[in-house]
Structure 1
Amino acid sequence: MFDRRLKIVLIVLAAALLVIVARLVDLQVLHAGDYRTQADAVLLRPAQPLPFVRGRILDRFGAVLAADQPCWQVAVDYDAIVEEARREPVRTVPPLWIRLSAFRGESMDVLHQRARDIAARVENWADRVSAAAGYPVPIREQRMPHPILTALDDQMQVAARERFAATPSAHVTDGTVRVYHSSPSLPHIVGQLGAVGPDDLMNDPASDDPLSRYEPIESRGVSGVEYAAERLLRGRRGRIQQSRNGRTMEDIKPLSGRDVTLTIRMDLQERLYELLDERIPQLCPHPAGGSVVVLDVESREILALVSYPGYDANLFRRLYSDLRNDVRFEPLRFRPVANVYHPGSIVKPMTCLAGLASGVINTESTFHCDGYYLENVRDRYRCWESTVTGQRKAHGDVTATSALRGSCNIFMYHLGDAVGVERLCRSFEWAGLGHLAGTGLREERFGINPTPEWLALYRQAPLSPGDARNYAIGQGELVVSPLQAANLFAVYASGIWKPTQLIRGLGEPRALRLPIHADAWRAVREGMFQVTNDTEGTAYVTAHWANERFALCGKTGSATTPPKPTHYRIDYRNANGNSQSVALPAALKRDAVDAFRERFPSAEFDAEKDVVVESLFPPAGTQSDEKYAHAWFGGYLQRLDTSGRPDWNTPPRFAFVVLVEFGGSGGHVSGPIARDIAQMLFDLLLGELATQTVNGGQPS
């Protein structure tokens, strides 16, 4: 009985063993290849991101202003970058970084700062990921090399492979570089890319999409159109994932960013920059900088937006220190949109329109000018003084038209008093003053339209009798950007306010027809015609443009301004308690303080008492209250009829403004430049000028 049971158990065990052996033969011999394939499919390689190509920036005719181009780069392992970022300045520089510095002549300070920036960005992101997870989490960027030398061409990449062949932590890889048009007329418009920062990662609108969201090692637009059109220009990363045997398990193609077309005409933009580069040193006693803006009156598209001086955008990082410290010319300033100035006499047409629209005056009303507004006060509220004869103007009895022709301050003082601040500022509001011009650029400023509400909030003082007088001649708190001023002249030309456009394809802007009757427009436009076409006009000698088909109409302006600081002296105590001082280049006190703290982090000083202006530009004279003036001219080209008179039924096609900082007289400095601009517009845009239509929206 026992033997029988034992045999049964042995048979069962033998059968089970045969099944196991058979299964092993099936796994290891018969279907080994199939099972190995399935196992490999489960073991995937890490997914690899596929970079997108950022969209191009084009001018209105398709000229490329900015585009990604393939390049080579030298990338360094992250551990080596962290080691360099943490290196104290007194310690010996590792051989790798000496070779990197020598390869293209970049200073060790620049490379050291680059390493610190990369390490800071990656560590910041790693801290955020770990904090969200609740425990330390390594991120991909800590295991990959990062570019240190970029934009290498084919010849340089061959040299780099030879130079760094024996350096295991340096790798020559492919990449892309943003390449800009080299014209110095463009960098402010196109803008720059910069590193993605913590705020970008925290406030990323695409944070839920792993392929669209920002990564800590990426770049994004930080200025100009690169910033304004970031969501259009930026593409979407792709992703590829493979098994260990090379089989593709996922393949998501990258999506390139969209091209962005600007309203700018590159040919006009460059020629206007060259004009400023030639004429400002010739005409201006204290050359510093300037702006030109040209608008299409009907569409308000910006045809030119020139900030002078400029630079080659491709050299921005290499030249940054020099550009930042040039506090006289301030080449980094985007003058047409980021700087605001007193408009001076270029607002006088709007002052007249305010009086005419409100019924305070009519087209025949007169005020008398004997050179002074107040009989017993001769040191203020005066008419202007000729820079040629030195004599103060006394225009006699003047109407709105003749007051504009001669730029009579006394007429404007009387009119400002009669109209009052509220109605005067309301008319400025109609023309867009105190509002953004509509480009979408982050650099754009509102300017100031000093309404009673604004004065109560910011000046915190009641209206004074002189406020309306100052605003009537474009002084006081009233400030505008050159772009706002150009749009003001488009309003003078058409009777319609619209926001300006810099990026095409964003829709038709809204329009506002000003509530001003035709007789008022005709009187004001006649005055602007006489400014340059009547022998008594303030710009006849310098800006009269002889042309059989068109006339230059416009208005000069000289906006008084004090000299600007260029250096600040800071008195401080060093680490040993000794008193010292240093002069730093800066246009603003806060910039000087920031630069000082960066340069002398352990120094002690009082930011209120120990920081004083060291030097000014233009140099101040013997009187501490000496003032200079910015020189304005704004205008448009008006079609003439067969008798040589303006055809007021045909709206002008183009309006423009030119500003020369510290130029002095608008007529004598900006006037000749305006005449050159009129000829340039005629030469370049004659075909478009000839297509003007009668009664195209201009009040008659």
Structure 2
Amino acid sequence: MRMDRLIPSMFHRRLALLGVFFLLGGGALLARVGRLTIADHEALLAEAQRRLVTERWVETTRGRILDRAGRVLAEDRPAFDLTVDYQTLTGERALILAARDARRAHAAEWPTLGPAQRDALIRAREPERLAELERLWADIAAASGVSRAELEDRRSAIIAGVQRMALSIWERRRLARQRELSRQRETLVETALADVARPIAEQRRPHPLLTGLDDRTAFALRKIVARHDGVELVDGVRRDYPYETVETVVDLASFPSPLSAPEVRSVTVRGAATGLIGWMRNRVFAEDAERRRLETGLAPADDPGRYLPGDSVGAAGLERALEASLRGTRGRESRRVDTGAVERVEPAPGADARLTIDIDLQARILAALDPSLGLTVVQDWHGNHTVPVGERLAAGVAVIDVDSAEPLALASTPGFTIADLRTVGSALFRDAVMAPTVNRAIHRPYEPGSIVKPLVLATAVSEGVHDLSTRITCDGHLLPGRDDIYRCWIYRPRFGMATHSAQVGGPLDAPEAIARSCNIYFYTLGRALGPARLAAMYDALGVGRPFTHGLEIVSPGFLGRLDGAPLEPTDAIFMGIGQGPVSWTPLHAALAYGALARGGVVIEPRLLMDSAAPASRNLGWDRDAVDAALEGLRRGVNEPYGTGNHFTIGSRREPIFNARGVRVAGKTGTAQAGPTYRDADGDGRPDRDDSGEPIVLRRGDHAWTVVLVGPEDGPYRYAIAVVVEHGGSGGRVAGPIANQVIYALRSTGYLPGGDS
């Protein structure tokens, strides 16, 4: 049917056509309104509610680290932070200010200018603002003492962190919006990141660029803050380590005669516990955030303790190991723009960590190890054939309480301070010989050497492979007709190819074998025990298994062949004297002797006083065997033939242990060690000389001494383990250090005869 018959008038036909267009346009508009009011209602309402609320974090306080007496080893203290707004960090502020300058300079004609003209005027002003921003960074570097390179690294880290956070939040928003729209429309609705990519709070707020500033630095920066927008000094915190440097004293009267003097020497101990406590860093890495997520089980957006740009994080030692409990969680303050109502969730401070360590004892031990006093410097009477006289030696000391197995000191020399990290930096980590960042009491495992012999005796008798009534002859070598292998330590040309049986006039009993440290006796026991039983002994003493209760930072040591092959009978022979495929730390050694003093009861150690009560287990060692082992240790220190009794200087004998009013039993040892090679580029491969041979920086055996000590008329109360890298003789080098540890225990009130 023709349109002119239905609507004869041209006017009416045009009117009808306009009506159709109106209905079509209005329908689309109504459909859009319907979708907004019905389909998107909940999402839009939630967005509107978000815009009515402003939120800010309420900072928390990191927990303290205390020693066993409550002395503060690490704490947050009031300081200043320099914060910089995000637009200044990214450089966007230069463009914003350039645009403002251009608008002000051309205010009259600005409304008539086109986009290209405006952009040209803005770009003309931008170099001046960029130069001003460069002056800001230069001024901050000069006033703070932080290099431009470090400032750039910090800026980049903050920007990268914010960008990662923004992408994570936007993606969560996109998925949430997509799920909601798909649910409402009952079909899959694709959403784009651009639909939800609104600036997050971290892109609108200032970020700490420099933290923990002292008053002097803050005063210098105030002048800069006054000249620049986007920069502010705010109240902050600084992680402080009150006992990092300690002044203490050492009485030199008890030192070996060449080092002894009738004076009390004042010593400054630098880094008394830095290698144990650790330190903080101001850069948060992706692995830190991932570790936090795994520990809490929370997504970063839901975690009030999550890392924000500019946060500090534990970088090493206990600061890192205890990060989750020390960190605490922020509070949140929400304010409604329309009503002014405020809701506040209070922050939860980090938990304090109280250690079993006595920092006073540890500082006194480290003072005795100061190289200026000579015990950790090669002396001509040491008899060291591989390290020149006058060279410094590195050492580690572990002291435990026998009754509780709690570590009282985990000392290592040389040490370092956090200031050294800032000034010397990576050179500390590249020093392969001294390695000051390694705590030798807990971080580095060593072959035990002869100090395991009393433990092997207790195990052999308890396992039924040896009887205490059976004496063993020392002919200088284990295998008949083979004097080139499995030899006793005194069966050497410099000792006249001596044997212990020749010295005592016959076979040795167990205490004599321990006191004289006869290798043949313990080669024999190692062969009788076999690899499986010896491996079980070391395993029962904690070798190869990680510690808990704050001691996760301790190296578990090694047990077994590096290539994974099964242990063989020849391995067992060497493991009987503490050599071969086994290594442990001084802490392991002290704990093992503590177990021996308790009659074979192993107590799991703890470093945190407030952790769960440690578990204990009885190894089932034969009581007579334990008594024989302890008697051997007693003779080793107190009988003239014991390896821990004396050392010789010229023609004069000097006792290794000379403290009165205490009883000491112990064992010295010398453990084989591989060379330390030069590795200048840190790639893990030794540098080589022109002939292609590895360049050796130091070689030689490690020196051990482990002792039990207590009041003269009482039980053994403490176990002390000392290792000196490349020190050679356990008695001459590690023994005098163990003696000074006893004096430190006296001076701090743990043993009678001290000054406190």
Secondary structure class of the residue paired with 2:663: strand
Q: Is the 8 A contact 1:124 1:198 kept in 2?
A: no
Q: Decide which of 286, 291, 296 is 1:198's aligned counterpart.
A: 286
Tell me the TM-score normalised to structure 2 length: 0.72
Deviation at 1:160, TM superposition (A): 1.1
Q: 1:490 aligns to what?
A: 594
**Alignment match, 1:676:** 740
CA distance in structure 2 between the aligned counterparts of 1:166 and 1:638, rounded to whole angstroms: 66
Match of 2:528 among 407, 418, 423: 418
Calculate percent identity across the aligned residue pairs: 32
| d(CA) in 2 for partners of 1:387, 1:100 | 67
Please give the per-residue CA displacement for 1:20-49, whole angstroms capped at 9, x wherever unaligned: xxxxxxxxxxxxxxxxxxxxx998562111
Question: Separation in 1 of the partners of 2:720 and 2:84?
Answer: 51
Residue number in structure 1 paired with 2:6: none
- 1:461 Cα offset (Å): 3.7
The match for 2:324 among 217, 231, 250 is 231
In 2, Cα distance between equivalents of 1:117 and 1:45: 29
Q: 1:248 to 1:527 in 2, by over 3 A?
A: same
Q: State the match for 2:662 in structure 1.
A: 550
Aligned AA (1:270): A
1:584 matched to which residue of 2?
A: 681
- Structure 2 vs 1, CA of residues 660 and 299 (structure 1 numbering), >3 Å: closer, same or farther? same
Matched, 1:615 2:708: no
Cα offset, 1:245, TM superposition: 8.6
Amino acid at match of 1:637: V
**Worse-superposed segment, 231-240 or 245-254:** 245-254
Partner of 1:5: none
Q: Aligned-pair RMSD on alpha carbons? A: 3.2
Give, in whole Å, the separation in 1 of the partners of 2:692 and 2:314.
36
Distance in 1 of aligned mates of 2:399 and 2:642: 23
**What pairs with 1:101-116 in structure 2 (closer than 5 Å)?**
101-116=141-156
Where 2:581 maps in the other structure, the secondary structure is: coil
Q: Which residue of 1 aligns with 2:308?
A: 216
Query: Secondary structure of 2:624's match?
Result: helix
Q: C-alpha offsets along residues 47-72 of structure 1, whole Å, 9 cap, x if unaligned? A: 11110111111111111110111111
The aligned counterpart of 2:673 is 561
8 Å CA contact 1:494, 1:651 repeated in 2:
no
Partner of 1:603: none
Cα gap change, 1:133 to 1:442, in 2 (>3 Å): farther
1:486 CA drift (Å): 1.3
Per-residue deviation at 1:351? Answer: 1.2
Q: 1:108 to 1:392 in 2, by over 3 A?
A: farther
**1:152 match:** 213
CA contact (8 A) 1:345 1:474 kept: yes
Secondary structure in 2 aligned to 1:79?
Answer: helix
**Alpha-carbon distance change, 157 to 379 in structure 1, aligned in 2, over 3 angstroms:** same
Secondary structure of the 1:383 match is coil
> Alpha carbons of 1:585 and 1:611: their partners in 2 closer, same or farther (altered >3 Å)?
farther
Are the counterparts in 2 of residues 180 and 314 from structure 1 also a CA contact under 8 Å?
A: no
Alignment of 1:450-469 (within 5 A): 450=560, 459-469=563-573
Residue 176 (structure 1) aligns with: 237
Distance in 2 between the 1:132 and 1:141 partners? Answer: 16
CA distance in structure 1 between the aligned counterparts of 2:518 and 2:619, rounded to whole angstroms: 25
Cα deviation for residue 139 of structure 1 reads 2.4
Separation of aligned partners in 1, 2:606 and 2:520? 37
| Alpha-carbon contact 2:77-2:237 (below 8 Å) kept | yes
Q: Distance in 2 between matches of 1:658 and 1:219?
A: 35
> C-alpha distance in 2, partners of 1:462/1:671?
36
Q: Secondary structure of the residue that 1:428 maps to in structure 2? A: helix
**Is 1:281–2:289 an aligned residue pair?**
no
**1:388, distance to aligned residue in structure 2 (A):** 12
Quote the offset at 1:119 in angstroms. 2.2
Corresponding residue for 2:720?
656
Report what 1:634 is aligned to. 706
| Structure 1 alignment gaps of length 5 or more | 1-40, 85-90, 568-582, 593-607, 619-626, 642-649, 691-700
Deviation, 1:544, is 4.0
2:702 partner amino acid: H
Letter of the aligned partner of 2:664 in structure 1? Answer: L
Deviations 1:654-674 (A, max 9, x none): 111011111111111001111
Alignment gaps of 5+ in structure 2: 1-48, 93-129, 175-192, 246-270, 502-506, 648-654
What is the aligned partner in structure 2 of residue 58 from structure 1? 66
Which residue of the other structure, out of 620, 626, 637, is the alignment partner of 1:532?
637
Amino acid at match of 2:608: I
The separation in 2 between residues aligned to 1:314 and 1:50, in whole angstroms, is 30
Change (3 A) 1:483 1:547: closer
Q: Cα distance, 1:687 vs. partner?
A: 6.0
CA offset at residue 106 of structure 1?
2.3
Match of 1:665 in 2: 729
1:164 is matched with which residue: 213, 217, 225?
225
Whether the 8 Å contact between 2:327 and 2:349 is mirrored in structure 1 is: yes
Residue range with higher mean Cα deviation, 317-326 or 660-669? 317-326
The normalised TM-score by structure 1 is 0.78
For the 8 Å contact 2:661–2:752, the answer to whether it is kept is: no
Counterpart in the other structure of 2:204 = 143
SS in 1 for 2:396: strand
Question: How far apart are residue 518 of structure 1 and its match?
Answer: 1.6
Question: Greater Rg, structure 1 or structure 2?
Answer: 2
* Residues 197 and 216, structure 1, Cα contact 8 Å, conserved in 2: no
Looking at structure 1, the residues matched to 473 and 83 of structure 2 have their Cα atoms a distance apart, in angstroms, of 75
CA–CA distance in 1 between the matches of 2:59 and 2:493? 63
Q: Distance in 2 between matches of 1:686 and 1:48?
A: 51
Q: CA deviation at 1:384?
A: 1.0
Report deviation, 1:439: 4.2
Is 1:327–1:585's contact at 8 Å kept on the other side of the alignment? no
Letter of the aligned partner of 2:716 in structure 1? P
- Alpha carbons of 1:234 and 1:672: their partners in 2 closer, same or farther (altered >3 Å)? same
Query: Residues 579-620 of structure 1: CA distance to partner in whole angstroms, max 9, x if unpaired?
Result: xxxx5256x339x9xxxxxxxxxxxxxxx9x998753221xx
Q: Which of 463, 480, 484 is the aligned partner of 1:358?
A: 463
Task: State whether structure 2 residue 329 is matched by structure 1 residue 249.
Answer: no
**Partner of 1:374 in structure 2?**
479
C-alpha distance in 2, partners of 1:429/1:473?
Answer: 16
Once the two structures are superposed, what CA deviation does each residue of 1:207-266 show, in whole Å capped at 9, x if it has no partner?
Answer: 268463313323333432223333332222122233459944212222222221111111
Q: Deviations over 1:446-475 (max 9, x none)?
A: 21233xxxx5xx535454442111101111
CA distance in 2: counterparts of 1:274 and 1:266, whole angstroms = 12
**Take 2:556 and 2:640, find their aligned partners in 1: how far apart are those partners?**
37
CA distance in 2, matches of 1:141, 1:381: 68
| Distance (whole Å) between structure 1 residues aligned to residue 493 and residue 340 of structure 2 | 84
- 3-state DSSP of counterpart to 2:646: helix
Q: Which moved more, 1:662-671 or 1:440-449?
A: 440-449
| Equivalent residue for 1:68, pick from 47, 66, 76 | 76
The residue type paired with residue 553 of structure 1 is A
Amino acid aligned to 2:528: A
Contact 1:449 1:479 in 2 (8 A): yes
1:522 and 1:201 map into 2 onto residues whose CA distance is 53
Which amino acid in structure 2 is aligned with residue 131 of structure 1? E
Aligned residue number for residue 11 of structure 1:
none
